[in-house]
Amino acid sequence: MQAAATEHLITPARNIEGSLRLPGDKSISHRYALLGGFAAGTTRLTNFSTGADCASSLGCVAALGAGVTRDGATIEIAGTGGHFQPPAAPLDCGNSGSTMRMLSGLLAAQVADPPGSFTLIGDSSLSRRPMERIRKPLTAMGARIELTDSHAPIAIHGAPLTGIDYTTPVPSAQVKTALLFAGVQAEGRTLVREAVRTRDHGELALRAFGATIVRSLESVSIAGGQSLTGIEAEVPGDISSAAFFLCAAALFPGSNLIFDALGLNPTRATLLDVLTALGAHIGVLNLEEKHGELVGTVQVNAPPHGLTGTSIAGVLSAQLIDELPVLAAIGPYTQSGIRIRDAKELRVKESDRIALVAANLRAMGAEVVEFEDGLDVPGGQSLHGAIIDSGGDHRIAMAFSVAALRAQGDTLIRGSESAAISFPEFFDLLEGVVQR
């Protein structure tokens, strides 16, 4: 069910100060939910993502026979022991590409009983996103997968699978994870090679659930026929949600913001390097490892004379893919601007994020040049308040809420309800740390 459209007014801020403990990482929550549903035994999770996307993953495994009980951010999943039951209705992935692609990997090896197929559906945004990228390799492993004009709805006819050696044409952690989720059930070994090391939560989660994974610098492999067992875990705070607050704090000299128990997996923490390169002071302490995931306390202070500027391309663009909208949105406030290239994938996210970032920056009075694979956002600009069209995309709504904090005048974020896809608490937590 789609939430009713709402608007949110952001008035400019004077400073950002406070401390935050953020809801669980979306990428990790998805993987723990899906594997918890698939594994044998019980999985107990705390600080599970409060976003609607991860609720879609839970809903799907429940529909496939897992026992799911939820009390806020505390989740208990009674796993199916590797055997999903035929669901009574199509599996609704909502807005969540992660649910659709990674669950497809698990389902590719599930022979429906009685014979039939698993159908996956999504909302209008998800139904426009590319799914050929999972169909091709999962088909090569032996599953039969029917798309609708390269998109969802997807019908998966699971089959006994054979491992493959596959190089992902576009760096994608979702595709890599889908193949590992299929590979753990296949005959023989599945090897996934990637040109850019994408987030490795899938590998770490499989290990946590008891699988053996072999990793090298540019590939990961898993032997088939391994069974998984439920875990107990506290999900680290979501660094991609923290990104909005980190960027907001970086804009205000005198700011001081602290995050406790934040996920700091190196494949996700590139934003901290970029903010440091822009001149912000980032401190990290209390580092711990939980189920292979690094967790720690992060402190951010803005530089006294403003952020410099930077160019993001190549490997960096792939690693920062979810943080690029907010980095572009603060670009005008930097000294020499933010240049983004090699980020064509932004066009096939929940929205065309390159087009929406450019349109909304222009609405706020900024100069910006749009490229097929990125943006040039010149620095040294001042913006005015405007009406922002989030396009129903959570990261656009939150990115422009951050830009609005430094604008002249108020900004109205249209489609602000979309923040709840990953971060329902966003506007409340923002108000808690903003000084006016």
* Binding-site ranges for ligand S3P (CB under 6 A): 27, 30, 98, 172-174, 177, 199, 321-322, 345
SS (H, E, C) the chain: CCCCCCEEEECCCCEEEEEEECCECHHHHHHHHHHHHHCECEEEEECCCCCHHHHHHHHHHHHCCCEEEEECCEEEEECCCCCCCCCCCCEECCCCHHHHHHHHHHHCCCCCCCCCCEEEECCCCHHHCCCHHHHHHHHHHCCEEEEECCEEEEEEECCCCECCEEECCCCCHHHHHHHHHHHCCCECEEEEECCCCCCCHHHHHHHHCCCCEEECCCEEEEECCCCCECCEEECCECHHHHHHHHHHHHCCCCCEEEEEEEECCCCCCHHHHHHHHCCCEEEEEEEEEECCEEEEEEEEECCCCCCCEEEECCHHHHHCCCCHHHHHHHHHHCCCEEEECCCHHHHHCCCCHHHHHHHHHHHCCCCCEEECCEEEECCCCCCECCEEECCCCHHHHHHHHHHHHCCECCEEEECHHHHHHCCCCHHHHHHHHEEC
Q: How far is the CB of 336 from ligand S3P (least distance, A)?
A: 27
What is the CB-side half-sphere exposure of residue 154 using CA atoms within 13 A? 38
CB of 102 or CB of 434, closer to ligand S3P: 102
Active site residues: 322
Nearest distance from residue 14's CB to ligand S3P, in Å?
A: 32
**Min. distance of Cβ 65 from ligand S3P in angstroms?**
24
- Distances in Å between the Cα of 224 and the Cα atoms of 185, 334, 344, 366 are 5, 50, 34, 53
CB 335, min distance to ligand S3P, A: 29
**In the complex, least distance from residue 53 CB atom to ligand S3P, rounded to whole angstroms:** 9
Residue with Cβ nearer ligand S3P (177 or 334)? 177
- Work out how close the CB of 404 gets to ligand S3P at its nearest, in angstroms, rounded to a whole number: 23
* Minimum CB distance to ligand S3P smaller for 169 or for 283: 169
If the CB atoms of residues 96 and 411 are measured against ligand S3P, the closer one turns out to be 96
Q: Provide the greatest CA pair distance for the chain.
A: 67
* Closest approach of ligand S3P to the CB of residue 99, in Å: 10
CA 320 to CA 270: how far, in whole Å? 7
* Residue closer to ligand S3P, measured from CB, 49 or 411: 49
Nearer Cβ to ligand S3P, position 252 or 426? 426
Q: Are 391 and 325 a contacting pair, CB within 8 Å? A: no
Pick the closer one to ligand S3P by CB: 123 or 345.
345
Cis peptide before 253 (omega within 30 of 0): no
Residue 182 vs 434, nearer CB to ligand S3P: 182
